[in-house]
Structures are given as structure tokens and as C-alpha cells.
């Protein structure tokens, strides 16, 4: 391949030195005398191919770049607006009606957030400052079992920001239904070993937190088709 490319450069130079048909000058002469002086410097940054997608700004002031499943902030006044996301291998640009409203470095970590505090209204800044410590302290102030349930959710590292939403949703039930009901709902959910917002919501909506489980284990019924433990000895 190296030898072939060397031969091609020689052939190209020979081609450029030949006089054009019915002309008294070559391509090389035309370039040196006319075209070369019109050339501009190359761009300082290398050209990057850009792709485009569309999204609606979420209530927390972020848009999701579907290619990476990563979230980027935009000014809060655009919440609910449909925007264009234009992105390259290094940058993510958000536009509203052809005007740029946000520019971020591209981050390809799924289900994470890239946020600028300047984009947040004062009522939305708390969302951008969610931390595990905040939820752990909040849950400790309610009850150890609520704390245990929240910790189990936070320990699921697959989608940490999704877990933050679950935590604030669960802990907010304390104001809606009271601490006692939330505590019992968490206790029941812990026994199920299912750790998400939907489980707590279902328990509270169906009133399962008020039900008392029978602590006695049921005995195996007698039946001709049940062989019993002696059969396997």
C-alpha cells in the first residue's frame, strides 16, 4: 500500500504539470498563480459530524439525549417546550426555535445528569442537589425501617438518578399519609424484598399496610398426590 500511494503521488504530480486542453498553462500553474492566494487558513478545530434529535424539556429542567440516555439541563423557562438536540462526539447543543439555549460537553454515562445551577429556578435547584446523604438523613428522622428501605434502593447502582426519584417519592408519602402508614408500608415491602416506589405506592393505595399477617405457618394439606418428606429419604 505504501508503494502504491507513492506511485499515485508521482502520477498525480505529472498529471497536474500537463497543459490543459487548448490552454497554454497547466493545473499546477493555475493553482500557483490564481487559486493559492485565495486560500484561507484551515479551521483551528477539526470538523465534527453532528447528529440531531428532538425532545421535550422535562419538569426538572433537563432533556434526554436518547443516544446515550444521559440528561442535560436547559434554562428552567423552557420546561415543557419541544427543543432540538444537536450533538457531536464531544459536544451537546440544545436549541429552541433555532436559538442555542444550552451547550454541554457530551457525557456518555447512562441515566446520569449534567446540570448547570444557572439553568435552575430556585425551586428546582434542590433537584440538582439530590445526594444519598440527604435521603438517608431524611429517612432516619422517620424510622429505622424506612431508613433500611431507602438504603436498599440507593444500593441499586444501575440507575442512580432513577433511584433518587424513587427516594423522594417514597419519603414524600410521610406528608400525604403520615409517618405510621409509611413505616408499615416499608416494613411490608422489606418482607417482600422488592425495592421501588411503585411497591410502596401499591401497598398504601390498597391499604395493605393496615393488614396483619398471620405469623403461624400454614401446614401442608393432606392429599394423595403429595408424597411428603419421607418419600425422598
The DSSP call for residue 61 is S
Q: Where are the beta strands (DSSP E) in the chain?
A: 51-56, 62-65, 70-73, 82-87, 91-96, 99-105, 113-114
For 3, phi then psi, to 5°, come to: -65, -40
Per-range mean pLDDT, top range of 38-52, 122-136, 161-175:
38-52
Give the start-to-end residue ranges of the domains of the chain.
51-120, 132-210
And the C-alpha cell for 190?
Answer: 422489606
The DSSP call for residue 19 is B
And the C-alpha cell for 147?
Answer: 431508613
Give the least confident one: 24-28, 42-46, 144-148: 42-46
pLDDT more than 70, % of the chain = 85
Report whether pLDDT(19) > 80. Answer: yes
Q: Quick one: average pLDDT of 89-110?
A: 95
b/e per residue 13-50 (b: at least 16 CB within 10 A)? eeeeeeeeeeeeeebeeeeeeeeeeeeeeeeeeeeeee
CA distances 136 to 66, 70, 140, 159, Å, are 31, 25, 6, 18
The predicted pLDDT at position 120 comes to 76
**Comparing 213 with 156, which gets the higher pLDDT?**
156
Report whether pLDDT(152) > 50. Answer: yes
99-105 vs 70-73, strand pairing mode: unpaired
129 burial type by CB count under 10 A (0-12 exposed, 13-18 middle, 19+ buried): exposed
The predicted pLDDT at position 127 comes to 60
Q: How confident is the model at residue 225 (pLDDT cuts 50, 70, 90)?
A: low
The DSSP call for residue 148 is H
CA–CA gap between residue 190 and residue 155 (Å, rounded): 14
Return the number of other C-beta atoms located less than 10 Å from residue 181's C-beta.
17
CA–CA gap between residue 165 and residue 155 (Å, rounded): 14
pTM to 2 decimals? 0.45
Give the least confident one: 13-17, 129-133, 186-190, 213-217: 213-217
Report whether pLDDT(217) > 80. Answer: no
Closest CA to 55 of 82, 76, 87: 82
The predicted pLDDT at position 59 comes to 80
CA distances 204 to 33, 152, 164, Å, are 84, 19, 20
Report whether pLDDT(165) > 90. Answer: no
Amino acid at each position: 500500500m505504501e508503494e502504491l500511494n507513492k506511485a499515485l503521488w508521482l502520477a498525480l504530480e505529472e498529471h497536474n504539470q500537463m497543459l490543459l486542453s487548448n490552454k497554454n498553462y497547466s493545473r499546477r500553474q493555475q493553482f500557483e498563480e490564481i487559486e493559492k492566494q485565495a486560500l484561507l487558513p484551515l479551521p483551528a478545530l477539526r470538523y465534527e459530524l453532528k447528529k440531531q434529535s428532538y425532545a421535550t424539556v422535562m419538569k426538572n429542567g433537563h432533556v434526554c439525549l436518547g443516544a446515550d440516555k444521559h440528561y442535560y439541563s436547559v434554562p428552567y423557562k423552557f420546561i415543557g417546550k419541544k427543543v432540538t438536540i444537536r450533538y457531536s462526539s464531544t459536544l451537546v447543543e440544545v436549541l429552541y426555535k433555532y436559538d442555542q439555549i444550552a451547550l454541554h460537553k457530551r457525557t456518555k454515562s447512562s441515566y446520569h445528569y449534567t446540570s448547570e445551577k444557572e439553568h435552575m429556578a430556585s425551586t428546582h435547584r434542590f433537584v440538582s442537589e439530590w445526594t444519598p446523604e440527604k435521603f438517608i438523613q431524611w429517612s432516619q428522622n422517620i424510622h429505622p425501617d424506612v431508613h433500611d428501605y431507602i438504603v436498599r434502593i440507593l444500593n441499586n447502582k444501575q440507575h442512580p438518578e432513577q433511584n433518587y426519584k424513587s427516594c423522594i417519592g417514597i419519603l414524600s408519602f410521610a406528608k400525604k399519609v403520615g409517618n405510621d402508614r409509611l413505616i408499615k408500608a416499608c416494613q411490608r415491602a422489606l418482607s417482600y424484598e422488592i425495592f421501588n416506589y411503585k411497591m410502596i405506592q401499591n401497598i398504601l393505595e390498597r391499604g395493605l399496610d393496615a393488614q396483619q399477617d398471620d405469623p403461624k405457618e400454614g401446614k401442608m394439606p393432606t392429599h394423595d398426590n403429595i408424597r411428603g418428606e419421607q418419600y425422598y429419604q
